[in-house]
Chains A and B, each alone.
Chain A
Amino acid sequence: MTPDVLTIEGLSKRFPPSIIALDEANIAVRKGEVHCLLGANGAGKSTFLKLIAGALSPSAGKIQVDGTPVHFRAPAEAARAGISMIYQELDLVPQLTVAENLFLGHPPSRFGFLDKRSRRARAREALARVGASFTPEDRVGSLSIANQQLTAIARSLTREAKVIIMDEPSAALNETELKSVFRVIRELTAQGVAILYVSHRLGELREIGDRVTVLRGGRTIETFDVEGTPDSALVEAILGRDRGFVERRERPPVTGEVVLKVDRLTAANGLDIRDFELRRGEIAGLTGLNGSGRTSFLKALFGADAHEARMSLYGKPYKAKTPRDAIAAGLGLVPESRKTEGLILDAPIYRNATLPAMQGRFLARHGELKAKTVPVLRQLSTKYGSPEQKVIQLSGGNQQKVVLAKWIIKGARLLLLDEPSRGLDIGAKADLYRLVDELAADGAAVIVASSELEELYAACDTIWVFHEGRNIARFDPATTDQDTILKHQILGDHHHD
């Protein structure tokens, strides 16, 4: 039997005070195998990878490389031990050449001077091993994403990597590009290099993987041989059987008129949404894996990203070139990142909350702006000192309420909420969805994008499944169980009910 090159036992990571991101994870990666890592959003994959690559330090547990215990304090130490990580957003320097990137941080030198000739020769060698069609002199920025991926793999080779970790390499690649990356992976494993391959997609795993370890809730559930394990067994391991029953909120049936009708909306990043419909008083949830197009869709609707569209709002043709157009048409966006997109952290609460509403007037009457803000904050049961307090001093949940207050004060009738509950504790989440409920009861139409299916399941009238930029299925959560929806998320089956 092939020896294990990387063995991990009981690896845990706790973030004080109470978050356990990884709980006694175990894995054994054999020399020359492609070992896949599967898990839903939040299963602990990123933490696991970061611990292996030395980007985080474990709270407990053992890591062994070739039977020798190791304790990485920095990624450079992991790299020296033969563990190489290729991040999803490739950490290459686009302005430098391929050769310069390959030896970034460890350039070949003679007598303290850079040895360019040796660098070029060794770069050529590494590129030949990955079957690259480009040269060491090419600028990384001018290469396709697939070729950049190959550059990153070649860089691992220059460090004599024994294990190469690839974090969702397929996310940015098309079919043919992925095929060429797979071909390289096979050649490398034939040379004895082990690959730890992370992906959401079962299809890829069938094509490239030898074994697969499933993570769920911060624990490694089981390791399977890819051959002979049916999809259903893997999906079950990803989802688990013992998930708590989520009680659906009582919602009146949606009978309002159609507010938004999207015949087709496309964007350069591959987004292609067809036949999307939203009614007055409806809460529609968007679910899907990371990169499935939820955020892109909301940003396009809001005029924040370039797109092509044929759609109507309240029966009239609608097209937003800028957020200003969208706001004028009655839309409001609670963006994915409240700190970088939603709020001006250093500014007082009331100035944040009234920013959209004050546009188009000459004088900023501060007294009036505060008077408009206070009742809305009270309606949202926001906890704060005074309206002049800076938002940076508020807790995450209360910050999110300030973002929501912007659109309530402005009087938006179509609310787009992108990951509105991210970073909120359970109480704040419950609060938030209660508010969304009230807004819908008041006649607003709401779209909520979230990676937490349970939340959508409890709160929404309709759930749309997004997969690789498309809205592939629509479910009524009252008549569908969560597992069915999750299977669609992962497998990408087309279905409309």
Chain B
Amino acid sequence: MTDTVTGVAPARTSGRRVADLLIEYNFIAIFLVVVAIAAILSPNFLTSTNIANLFQQAAVVGVVAVGMTFVILTGNIDLSVGSVVALCGMLVAVLLAGGMPIVPALAITILTGALAGAVIGLITALAEVPSFIVSLAGLVSFRGITYLLTDGVPVSGLPPSFGAISSTMVPVLPGLQVSSMGIIFVVLCIAAGALLRLTVFGESVYATGGNAEAARLSGLPTTRILVLVFTVSGVMSALAGILLTSRLRIGQPTAAQGLELDAIAAVVLGGTSLFGGRGGVLGTFFAVMLLQVLRNIFNLLGLGSFYQMTVTGLIIVAAILLNRFIDIRRGRA
């Protein structure tokens, strides 16, 4: 054997291990730093009311971002999610206002979201067109259908029990209650993480995003996988739409405009590669919370949304540069 042994990793010291973990999960470190700064800047930040607020406010974009993570892991993008949130939010309002019981109304809405995602996935996979443009068409058309539902008029008069879906307070720790909306967000994160990490479907998502041709030649049903990730994204958008309408107590056809960009920003900030194959839901969760903390701290300090927008953009750029730097250091450039 003249084969070199360059491939064998040297035994790692524990210090090296900690450094590796810090690099791998840098988004958690950044999140903790921002939380610490927030706690120092405002005494109101670490109060239980404020923490509950954080989860409630992060839930809609968070749920969408979890679905978006699946799509981006395959190297695709779904720009239609904001419009699907609005469409499903309106649809559930129309159905409930028309007197339909909650369970079938939710089922129809979730199915509609799934269908919207599946259509985008099917066109992308079968016609081999970039998902960017297919989902951009979806963004426009789904918003159009949303307006068509009621001719652009908001829908009110929803049953009070529907509001309970988002606003029931659940005690999680002594002295800390979080609204059901926040709980649903966290539960969906855990479910999505389990789907990605523990199932063959999850493995296939990573494999397809990592190298689609190698995946195909390994016998993976790559078309089906693409359709499924967009379906997941559609279902998550439908759930987010339901949560949004439940919280607002009104179906608002103009809701969730630009939400797709917030979701994409969160996914990328959480370390998921836009080229696919790398990343995960854990990063998305922390990135969503990080962006929410930023918004929150600016509010607590009484700084307007102009500052918020400027700084949020800067933080995203800084995080992307950091990840790029880590990639280069690891020789993956």
Contact = CB atoms under 8 A, between A and B. Distances in A.
Contacts of A302: 217
B3 A427 contact: yes
A383 B213 contact: no
A397 interface: yes
- What 3 pairs across the A-B complex have the smallest Cβ distances? A427-B2, A385-B9, A344-B210
Interface stretch (A94-102, A212-220, A357-365): A357-365
Interface string A26-46: 000000000000000000000
A425 B218 contact: no
B198 A355 contact: no
A363 B218 CA distance: 18
Contacts of A342: 214, 217
Interface residues of B, number: 32
A388 B217 CA distance: 22
A351 B197 CA distance: 12
A425 B1 CA distance: 10
A384 to B, nearest CB: 6
23 contacts: A322-B216, A323-B218, A327-B218, A333-B217, A341-B213, A341-B214, A341-B217, A342-B214, A344-B210, A347-B210, A356-B219, A358-B200, A358-B203, A359-B219, A359-B221, A383-B8, A385-B9, A389-B9, A395-B4, A425-B3, A427-B2, A428-B3, A431-B3
Contacts of B332: 346, 392
Given A324-B221, A425-B3, A427-B3, 5 more contacts: A327-B219, A347-B210, A359-B220, A384-B8, A385-B7
A234 B267 CA distance: 62
A257 to B, nearest CB: 26
A392 B327 CA distance: 13
Contact of B214 (A343, A383, A398): A343
A394 interface: yes
Interface string A331-358: 0010100001111111100010001101
B134 to A, nearest CB: 22
Contacts of A356: 218-219
Contacts of A394: 7
B199 A364 contact: yes
A1 interface: no
B203 A351 contact: yes
Residue of B7, B200, B215, B221 contacting most chain A CB atoms (<10 Å): B7
Given A345-B210, A384-B7, A363 B215 contact: no
A326 to B, nearest CB: 8
B227 to A, nearest CB: 16
Contact of B213 (A327, A340, A363): A340
Contact of B207 (A351, A385, A389): A351
A252 B210 CA distance: 42
Contacts of A363: 198-200
B271 to A, nearest CB: 13
A148 to B, nearest CB: 24
B207 A324 contact: no
B172 interface: no
Contact of B200 (A347, A359, A428): A359
Interface string B88-128: 00000000000000000000000000000000000000000
A386 to B, nearest CB: 7
Interface string B202-239: 11101100110111111111000000000000000000
Interface string B176-206: 0000000000000000000000111111101
Nearest to A394: B7
Contact of A427 (B1, B9, B198): B1
A246 interface: no
A324 B219 contact: yes
A383 to B, nearest CB: 6
Contacts, number: 112
Contacts of A328: 219
A393 interface: yes
Interface string A379-413: 00101111001001111011000000010000000
Residue of A304, A356, A385, A425 contacting most chain B CB atoms (<10 Å): A385
A426 to B, nearest CB: 6
Interface in B152-186: none
B278 interface: yes
Interface string B3-19: 11111110000000000
A383 B203 contact: no
Contact of B7 (A344, A355, A358, A398): A398
A402 to B, nearest CB: 10
B205 to A, nearest CB: 11
A326 B217 CA distance: 10
A18 B215 CA distance: 35
Interface string A154-192: 000000000000000000000000000000000000000
Contacts of A323: 216-219
Given A359-B219, A361-B200, A346 B277 contact: yes
Contacts of B213: 340-341
A412 to B, nearest CB: 10
B1 A431 contact: yes
Nearest to B11: A385
Contact of B217 (A304, A345, A426): A304
A85 B327 CA distance: 37
B203 A355 contact: yes
A443 B216 CA distance: 27
Residue of B4, B200, B203, B217 contacting most chain A CB atoms (<10 Å): B217
Nearest to A327: B219
Contacts of A386: 9
Given A358-B203, A359-B220, A393-B9, A344 B215 contact: yes
Residue of A326, A344, A362, A381 contacting most chain B CB atoms (<10 Å): A344
Contact of A395 (B3, B199, B220): B3
A355 B221 CA distance: 12
B7 A393 contact: yes
Interface in B301-318: none
A433 to B, nearest CB: 14
Contacts of B198: 363-364
Nearest to A393: B7
A427 to B, nearest CB: 3
B206 A347 contact: yes
A395 B214 contact: no
A389 B20 CA distance: 14
Contacts of B201: 362
Contact of A340 (B199, B202, B211): B211
A326 B219 CA distance: 8
B158 to A, nearest CB: 38
B216 A304 contact: yes
B219 A426 contact: no
Nearest to B1: A427
A361 B201 CA distance: 9
Contacts of B9: 385-386, 389, 393
A355 B207 CA distance: 8
Given A345-B210, A346-B210, A385 B219 contact: no
Given A304-B217, A323-B218, A344-B277, A426 B2 contact: yes
Contacts of B220: 324, 355, 359
Nearest to A407: B218
A417 B277 CA distance: 26
